[in-house]
Amino acid sequence: MDSAGGISRGDIGLFIPAYLQLSRHGVWYLRWPIPKGLHPGCRQSTVKVSLRTRDPKKALHLSRSISHMAETAS
């Protein structure tokens, strides 16, 4: 944590799952794996979607919501 009680960039890894990725510009992205069987070229790949936030707590909330919607849709 930083001196103001907020979360500093170094503390992020303690609670951010592997599917969230921080860009070099400070924007959070959700990386969603595509199974080999569903990929058109029969290769494993990922979809990378910007969460359009720099706040790690908001990114975590958004990623959980998107993941839940994707899991229930399939």
Average pLDDT of the residues in 42-59: 89
Residue 1 confidence (pLDDT):
45
The CA distance from 67 to 65, in Å, is 5
CA distances from 52 to 18, 22, 39 (A): 18, 11, 26
Residue 15 confidence (pLDDT):
63
Instruction: Give the predicted TM-score (pTM) of the model.
Output: 0.68
Residues in contact with 11: Cβ distance below 8 Å, sequence separation at least 6, in sequence order: 1
Residue-wise pLDDT tens digits, 2-35: 454 444 555 555 566 889 999 999 999 999 888 7
- Going along the chain from its start, the domains and CATH numbers come out as 9-69 (3.30.160)
